[in-house]
Amino acid sequence: MWLELLLASVLGLVIYWFFSRDKEESLPLEDGWWGPGAKPTSEEDESIHPFKVDTSDEEIEDLYQRIDKFRGSPPLEGSRFHYGFNSNYLKKIVSYWRNEFDWRKQVEMLNKYPHFKTNIADEGLCATDFAAFPCEILHTPEKCVKKVKHPKLISYSYMERGGHFPALEEPKLLAQDIHKFVSLVERQ
């Protein structure tokens, strides 16, 4: 009996030590530099510049080669999208991208609209929401999201349905949650 208690105590201490060791360090959110290389000493250009979407024949050919290398595995029978993206459906999408989708026409269509870019170095970003879907592969409680990843979390929503691919499974729910988040940010 005493030996069992001693072994259980030692095992408990080892487990406690293992999980309480040095935690993964997170990047500071205050005045951190998020760009490539060292933080520039001069002020960043934050002006807004127009641009056009552009692609070359080489880029499209490279894309086709990558698509041709796609190898899907069979999905779990009857699983639909419950455990990830259904590979049978993905094969249809990949075939469409490779054989039917007109990439140049898409670029032309995109360029009918104005596009703009800028450099934004706003280090005090908050979490730009966390939507927890019930059929997600891994569930992350709100407390963990705030403590580990996003201390400035503005909104945590537990969704009524959906899983790992909410934009495909529940686009309306996801859009509503994004709208809610944006309105919360705008009020701050």
Answer yes or no: do 188 and 126 share one domain: yes
Regarding whether 100 and 143 lie in a shared domain, the answer is: no
Domain total of the chain = 2
Examine residue 171 and state whether it is found in any structural domain, yes or no. Answer: yes
Q: Is 184 within the bounds of a domain?
A: yes
Would you state the pLDDT for residue 18?
A: 66
Please give the Cα distance from 58 to 135 (Å, whole number). 40
Q: What is the 3-state secondary structure (H, E, C) of 61-101?
A: HHHHHHHHCCCCCCCCCCCCCCCCCCHHHHHHHHHHHHHCC
Q: Determine which of 42-46, 50-54, 133-137 has the lowest per-residue pLDDT on average.
A: 42-46
Tokens representing 95 are 């075939």
The residue assigned the tokens 């069992």 is 4
Residues 103 and 126 in one domain: no
Q: Which of 57, 87, 117 is the last residue of a domain?
A: 117
Assess whether pLDDT exceeds 70 at residue 22: no
Identify each DSSP E strand in the chain by its residue range.
Answer: 49-51, 115-117, 130-132, 156-158
Enclosing domain of residue 175: 122-188
Domain identity same for 163 and 126: yes
Confidence band (pLDDT; 50, 70, 90) for 31? low
Give the predicted TM-score (pTM) of the model.
Answer: 0.49
- Region 84-109: mean pLDDT is 92
pLDDT tens digits, 35-45: 677 777 877 77
Domain co-membership, 128 together with 186: yes
Helix 87-99 × helix 57-68 angle, to 10°:
150
Residue 16 falls inside a structural domain: no
Q: For residues 164 and 137, is the Cβ–Cβ distance under 8 A?
A: yes
Stated as kind and residue range, the H or E segment containing 130 is: strand 130-132
Residue 55 confidence (pLDDT): 93
- For residue 41, being part of any structural domain is answered with no
Question: Is the per-residue pLDDT at 123 higher than 80?
Answer: no
Q: What is the mean pLDDT of residues 157-178?
A: 92
- Output 35 or 162, whichever has higher pLDDT: 162
Residue where a domain terminates, one of 85, 117, 149: 117
**Mean pLDDT over each residue of the chain, to the nearest integer:** 83
Q: Is 144 or 36 the better-scoring residue by pLDDT? A: 144
* Residue at 84 is within a domain: yes
**Same domain, yes or no: 88 and 130:** no
Q: What is the pLDDT of residue 185?
A: 85
Has residue 25 got a pLDDT over 70? no
Among residues 59, 94, 117, the one where a domain terminates is 117
